[in-house]
Amino acid sequence: MPDSREKGLGRRAALAGIIGAPLAGACVPKQPKVDAVTSATIKSFNFRTLKDLKGQVPHTKLGKLELSRLILGGNHIAGWAHARDLLYVDALVKQYHHKWKIFETFALAEKCGINAFLTNPCLCEVIKEYWWRKLGKIQFISDCGGSSIEEGIKASIDGGAAACYIHGGMADGMVLRKQFDQLAKGLELIRSNGLPAGIGGHKLATVQGCVEAGLKPDFWMKTLHHHRYWSARDGKDECDNLWCDKPDETIAYMKERPEPWIAFKVLAAGAIRPADAFRYALKGGADFLCVGMYDFQLVEDTNIALEALAENQQRERPWRV
């Protein structure tokens, strides 16, 4: 843990302003209302603060875990920024998300009612320091990514994870290779430590294969977004632009699944505006949304999520939690 001498740093003093109520000084820029971003787009922002917050994200139970309907995703914070052919973006977001910026983002998320951060075990130490400094209590949901399922799960549990799931990329490959025994052992290891155990997937065939093999996770992590954005492709060219290959079929299949569903990649890595994406995913049956959000997007996205949740209380797929 950090040396206690760091406690006097200016960053911590600034962060205290975020943690303390009412936090009116936390500036959050609102996205400009334009149909398309071009070189002629006015480069200005309308700043939002917590006084503009319309409410906190509601919580429900996932097993024994109290979980907000909107979850803070961690790919961009860890440096995995999907940006198609923009090669500099990974480095940019890593520079932006220094330790104190991550702490500020966590604290602001908690003010919005978002009580969970979903990420890779590589960020365990940052999360543990946030807790150690008593800056907040945001929960950690782990994708258990690593060189093996067992290693990822053990690192996540040691890091204080509140729930774990088998990483979507790993699960996609294991289903393709019919390694269902390894997936079953992973679920068993997570549950033996008293945590909700999930399975992730980018492909609908991953969920279908697990169901056909008799696997019953406590929740699913499955991508969901439409293809109505200009850079969408058919998925055959291996471009970094498409994460839910069969959205209509995914919605139809997940409608029949009794397990809770956390939808991720709902923004198609920033290609779809939140108002459109959140409504689509919730109407399509998702019980939770995992969304990568920068600190300056949190208030606006929370307000959008509240509106989308209110509009979709009655929908075709019943709420599973």
Residue 84: CB atoms within 10 Å: 13
Residues of the chain scoring pLDDT < 50? 3-9, 21-34, 237-238
Q: Which CATH superfamily is domain 50-311 in?
A: NADP-dependent oxidoreductase domain (3.20.20.100)
Length of the chain: 321
Separation CA 279–CA 247 (nearest Å):
14
Q: What Cα–Cα distance (Å) separates residue 112 from each residue in 63, 81, 117?
A: 23, 23, 13
Specify the pLDDT at position 231.
Answer: 83
Quick: pLDDT tens for 177-217: 999 999 999 999 999 999 999 999 999 999 999 999 999 99
Contact 54, 30 (CB under 8 A): no
Handedness of CA 124, 129, 135, 136 (dihedral sign): positive
- The alpha carbon of residue 65 and the mean position of all alpha carbons in its chain are separated, in whole angstroms, by 16
pLDDT for residue 36 = 53
pTM for this structure?
A: 0.88
* DSSP structure string for 160-207: T-SEEEE-HHHHHHHHHTT-HHHHHHHHHHHHHTT--EEEEESSHHHH
pLDDT the model gives residue 21: 47
pLDDT at position 12 is 60
Task: Report which of 22, 175, 174 is spatially closest to residue 108, judged by C-alpha positions.
Answer: 22
Tell me, what's the pLDDT at 87? 82
Alpha helical stretches, state H, the chain:
10-19, 75-78, 89-96, 99-111, 124-132, 149-158, 168-176, 180-192, 204-212, 247-254, 274-283, 298-311
pLDDT of 34:
45
In the chain, domain spans: 50-311
